[in-house]
């Protein structure tokens, strides 16, 4: 199990387009992937749950991944956040 944090650094936060890109990544993996603030964790494969988080720029999110491909999933998710969801800033 991987339990880490990730900072939202893109200008618009985890808005619809960024959430869609995150779903593209998380849905490729068999592992259970959860994201949230503090103890409020949601399924990171569910677009509505991601949008309801309201994670704006500067938010630190908890990322929990458990499953057979957890390390690959974690690496790709962290890279997506670090790349600011490939949005022009």
pLDDT mean over 83-88? 90
Q: Please tell me the predicted confidence (pLDDT) of residue 9.
A: 96
Range of the domain at 70: 2-86
pLDDT mean over 68-76? 98
Residue 70 CA from chain centroid, whole number: 13
The predicted-structure confidence for 4-51, as pLDDT tens digits, reads as follows 999 999 999 999 999 999 999 999 999 999 999 978 899 999 999 999
Active-site position among 15, 21, 62, 84: 15
The position carrying tokens 């990544």 is 25
> Domain with 63 in it: what CATH number?
3.30.1340.10
- Whether 81 sits among the annotated catalytic residues: the reply is no
Residue 89 pLDDT > 80, yes or no?
no
Looking at the structure of the chain, the number of domains it has is: 1
With CA atoms as reference, report the closest residue to 37 among 61, 64, 63, 6. 61
Residue 88 pLDDT > 80, yes or no?
no
């Amino acid at each position: 199990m991987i339990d880490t944090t990730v900072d939202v650094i893109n200008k618009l936060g985890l808005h619809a387009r960024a959430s869609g890109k995150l779903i593209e990544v998380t849905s490729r993996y068999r592992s259970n992937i959860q994201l949230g603030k503090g103890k409020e964790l949601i399924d990171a494969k569910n677009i509505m749950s991601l949008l309801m988080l309201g994670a704006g720029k500067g938010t630190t999110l908890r990322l929990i991944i458990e499953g057979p491909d957890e390390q690959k999933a974690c690496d790709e998710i962290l890279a997506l956040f670090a790349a600011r969801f490939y949005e022009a800033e």
